[in-house]
Chains A and B, each alone.
Chain A
Amino acid sequence: DIQMTQSPSSLSASVGDRVTITCRASQTISSYLNWFQQKPGKAPKLLIYAASSLQSGVPSRFSGSGSGTDFTLTISSLQPEDFATYYCQQSYTTPRTFGQGTKVEIK
């Protein structure tokens, strides 16, 4: 199985900060990497698919990059509604494994 490792597991940031979350796959997954945002009590929401494609309706402050084994999610200017947990997921093969999550908290 492909293991997905996110870092950091949590971070504290202020409104307006630039935030970067990284995700590493245990083997190459080309660009089959997706990013989700989840708020407490809610279903995950797709932000980025295919490593760098912005899902319709998602603000442009979210961006993704990377290919192969190393990927990054960047929030260019953190907004109050962005405080949540973020998950990467590989869709290269089954099992479609998720990273352990990164909780973004208010500083």
Chain B
Amino acid sequence: EVQLVESGGGLVQPGGSLRLSCAASGFTFSSYEMNWVRQAPGKGLEWVSYISSGAGTIHYADSVKGRFTISRDNAKNSLYLQMNSLGAEDTAVYYCAREVGYNNYFDYWGQGTLVTVSS
């Protein structure tokens, strides 16, 4: 069974940092591209970042470029999102999602982890 489990969310002060993790199981993690998607409270879905299976290609939304860093450790079946210079606008539930390569769709999502940026 495919499982994606996010962790690392919590309360952080403005300007602070946080590192999210996504633990993958039930599939060959190293064969799949992965993404982070977030959802602010009461709002819609916002794509955040993409990483290819071998980490050779990375993309970011303009809203997080220069502040967030996506990475992965295929030996540990884990995806990460390092978030720096956090602001109130980054408050959201963060989901990791597996991407199927030939049509680039997100077939499995984690349950999400809540990041709250507040003083």
Chain A residues with CB under 8 Å of chain B are 1, 31-32, 34, 36, 38, 42-46, 49-50, 53, 55, 87, 89, 91-92, 94-101
Contact = CB atoms under 8 A, between A and B. Distances in A.
A43 B112 contact: yes
Interface in B60-119: 61-62, 95, 99-100, 103-107, 109-112
B105 A91 contact: yes
B38 to A, nearest CB: 11
Contact of B104 (A55, A96, A97, A100): A96
**Residue with the greatest number of chain A CB neighbours at <10 A, chosen from B50, B103, B110:** B103
24 contacts: A1-B62, A31-B103, A34-B106, A38-B45, A42-B111, A43-B109, A43-B110, A44-B37, A46-B106, A49-B105, A49-B107, A50-B103, A55-B107, A87-B45, A89-B45, A89-B106, A91-B99, A95-B47, A95-B61, A96-B47, A97-B47, A98-B46, A98-B47, A100-B44
Secondary structure of the A contact surface, majority rule: loop
Contacts of B50: 94, 96
Contacts of A42: 111
A49 B103 contact: yes
A4 B54 CA distance: 29
A35 to B, nearest CB: 10
Contact of A32 (B99, B103, B111): B103
A18 B115 CA distance: 38
B44 A50 contact: no
A45 B109 CA distance: 8
B43 to A, nearest CB: 9
Interface string B27-52: 00000000101000000111100100
Q: Which of B59, B109, B112 lies at the interface centre, i.e. has the most chain A CB atoms within 10 A of its CB?
A: B109
Nearest to A31: B103
